[in-house]
Amino acid sequence: DAGVTQSPTHLIKTRGQQVTLRCSPISGHKSVSWYQQVLGQGPQFIFQYYEKEERGRGNFPDRFSARQFPNYSSELNVNALLLGDSALYLCASSPGLAAQETQYFGPGTRLLVL
Amino acid sequence: DQQVKQNSPSLSVQEGRISILNCDYTNSMFDYFLWYKKYPAEGPTFLISISSIKDKNEDGRFTVFLNKSAKHLSLHIVPSQPGDSAVYFCAARSMTGRRALTFGSGTRLQVQP
C-alpha cells in the first residue's frame, strides 16, 4: 500500500512569492496534519484537518493556509514568502482523531526561499 | 518555550551494545508519547509509543520507559545495529486536547560497526 505522498520534493522560490504544497494521505486516512521542520529542530505543527475541516492550528502567521479536499488530499499554501520559511514541510496522515492514533509522515517537501 | 526536550544532540554506540535516548517534557497535560526515527531525505518513521497509564512498552529491540513523576522518557535499543543510525525524535501530545504532536529537537544516533 502506498504511504503518504507529497509533491513537489524540492522547490526554490524567491522572497515575496507564493507556494502551494500537496499531500495525499494513506488510503482510508481522513486526517491530515502539516508540520514545518527547520534545520536542527524537530517538526513544528502548522495545521490539522479532518473531514475537510480545520481541527487545529499552530503558532504560524496568517500567511500560512491550508485546505482538505473531498478525497482527503490536502494543500498547504504560504504567501509572501520570507527567507525564514525555508524548511522541510512534512505532511502526516492518520485514520481519524482517536487519542492513540499514530500519525504517519510523508517524505516532505524541501522549500528554499532566496 | 520548549515543552519537549532532547538534551543530547548526538550519541555514538558500538554495534551490539545498548543505545539509550532520553527525552524530558514540561507540559503536564501530555499523556501520550511517541518515538520517531528519521533518515536523511525521508520523513519520520513511527517506532513505538506509550500512554501515561503505562511505564513501559516493548516492541522487539525497542523499549520505551516513562517516568511520569520526573516527566522523563527514554528509548532503549538492544542490541544496536548499524542500520539504527538515524535521528530519533521524541514527540508528545494530550489525549484529550489537540491531536497535534509536539516534538523534541532530535538526537542523532551513530552505531559503529
Look at the block and give the residue holding cell 522549500. Answer: A111
CB nearest to A58's CB, from B6, B46, B100: B100
Nine cell digits for residue B28: 503536564
What is the mean pLDDT of the segment spanning B77-92? 97
Which pLDDT tens digit goes with each residue over A15-65?
Answer: 999 999 999 999 999 999 999 999 889 999 999 999 999 999 999 999 999
Interchain proximity A108–B43, CB inside 8 Å? yes
Taken in order B40, B45, B47, B51, the sign of the CA dihedral is positive
Would you list which residues of chain B are within 8 Å, Cβ to Cβ, of chain A? 4, 6, 32, 34, 36, 41-46, 49, 51, 89, 91, 95-96, 98-106
C-alpha cell at B104: 523534541
pLDDT above 90: residue A96: no
B4-5 and B32-38 beta bridge pairing: unpaired
Q: Coil, helix or strand for B82?
A: helix
Nearest-by-Cβ selection for A90 from B43, B51, B95: B43
Q: C-alpha cell of B107?
A: 538526537
N-to-C CA span, chain A = 37
Of B34, B98, B103, the CB nearest to A102: B34
* CA separation for the pair B19, B109 (Å, rounded): 8
What is the maximum alpha-carbon separation in chain A?
40
Confidence at residue B2, expressed as pLDDT on a 0 to 100 scale: 81
The region of weakest confidence among A3-12, A73-82, A92-101, B79-88 is A92-101
> What mean pLDDT do residues B54-71 have?
97
Task: Give the C-alpha separation, A36 to A21, whole Å.
Answer: 12
